[in-house]
Amino acid sequence: MSHLSEKTNSLIFLVGPTAVGKTEVGILLAKQLNGEIVSCDAMQVYREINIASVKPTDKELQEVKHHCLNLVSVTDDFNVAQYRQEATSCIKDILERGKQPIIVGGSGMYMTVLLDGIFEQFSRDRLLREKLQKQAIAQGIGALHRQLSDLDPVAAGKIHPHDAKRIVRALEVCLTAGAAISQLQTQRQGLWGQMPIKIFALNRERDVLYKRVEIRVQEMFAHGLVEEIKQISQLPLSTTAQTLIGIREVCGHLAGDYDLNQAQYLMKLNTRHYVKRQLTWFRRDKRIEWIDMDKITIGEIVRDIAKHFQ
């Protein structure tokens, strides 16, 4: 990508917590800068999840071209290595066509993988680890070591065939990241440092943000969330899809464990918890410039960001 001019060869990241207003700002910014949006959202990669992931509307998709939406089915596992590969390819294509890539979303992990490359610590999946531990007890650790030998012979050669803890961990990395540990060492470099990058995070007062979360969840239920999840729940969900907010909460209602009001309450609660985790992740990254949406209009935000790139 180094052959492109510095003005064209630049990236904008627009991140922040769920329901803060990233989509609206991103679309207005893309119109202003002749840009295209690359989604940085862990739910929007799934084809069958539209209401729960609050994907852009058909009108918004017509106004601005979007990438990294509807990449896989909920029956498929999807990991950070796959996202990194797809998003990097899209960014390169957008730049080569002389347009401005704008990476928009709330997944801190996806953002960091794009900026800094893949690190082993991202490859953690508690459900998968527990499944592998049960498998080790049922089939014997030798079976898992043989599986590891198929996936990552280099790592298997360094781990004793009876070292259950390290074998399970190595398999967890392979299966979650979609790459061998030995390969991950070569994927550590990200986009940061390769070109000018500005990262903006949108935020609001916590009470305002939580109120917006509650309204959004109510709208999801009003627009058919239960039916969407009901259809999805008939499918053999992948390990990664099972963790998405909305699926567990609505499935509990469908199973008769609690009523619709409780399902809605749980979804609001879990989304608020997710907002806290998002803010914690983004606040750790000192490269981010924060924008308080309670103190400035959306038009002013778009104008202030755009002036860096015009």
pTM of the model: 0.78
**Structure confidence at residue 239 (pLDDT):** 85
112-149 pLDDT, tens per residue?
999 998 765 556 788 888 999 999 999 999 999 999 99
Domain 11-117+189-306 indexed as CATH 3.40.50.300: yes
Domain 121-185 indexed as CATH 3.40.47.10: no
pLDDT > 80? residue 183: no
Torsion of CA 49, 116, 14, 228, to 10 degrees: 10
**Structure confidence at residue 122 (pLDDT):** 57
Least confident of 13-27, 184-198, 222-236: 184-198
pLDDT band at 1 (very low <50, low <70, confident <90, very high): very low
User: How many other C-beta atoms lie within 10 A of the C-beta of residue 24?
Assistant: 14
Note whether 107 and 40 are within 8 A (CB): yes
Query: Ranked by mean pLDDT, which of 3-7, 55-59, 190-194 comes out on top?
Result: 55-59
CA 194 to each of CA 3, 9, 104: distance values in angstroms, whole numbers, following the listed order: 11, 9, 19
Q: Once rounded to an integer, what is the mean pLDDT over residues 214-232?
A: 97
In the chain, where are the structural domains located? 11-117+189-306, 121-185
pLDDT > 90? residue 203: yes
Sequence-ordered alpha helix ranges (H) in the chain: 22-33, 58-63, 80-96, 108-116, 126-139, 141-151, 153-158, 164-177, 181-184, 206-222, 225-233, 239-242, 247-254, 260-284, 298-306
256-269 pLDDT, tens per residue?
999 999 999 999 99
**Structure confidence at residue 154 (pLDDT):** 85
Calpha distance 309→133 (Å, rounded): 50
* Order of all β-strands in the sheet with 66-67: 66-67, 35-39, 100-105, 11-15, 197-203, 288-292
The number of CA neighbours under 13 Å toward the Cβ of 158 is 7
**Structure confidence at residue 141 (pLDDT):** 93
Q: Which residue has the higher pLDDT, 52 or 4?
A: 52
**Structure confidence at residue 214 (pLDDT):** 97
**Structure confidence at residue 179 (pLDDT):** 73
User: What does the chain come to in residues?
Assistant: 310
Tokens read off for 303: 């104008």
In one-letter notation, the amino acid at residue 115 is: L
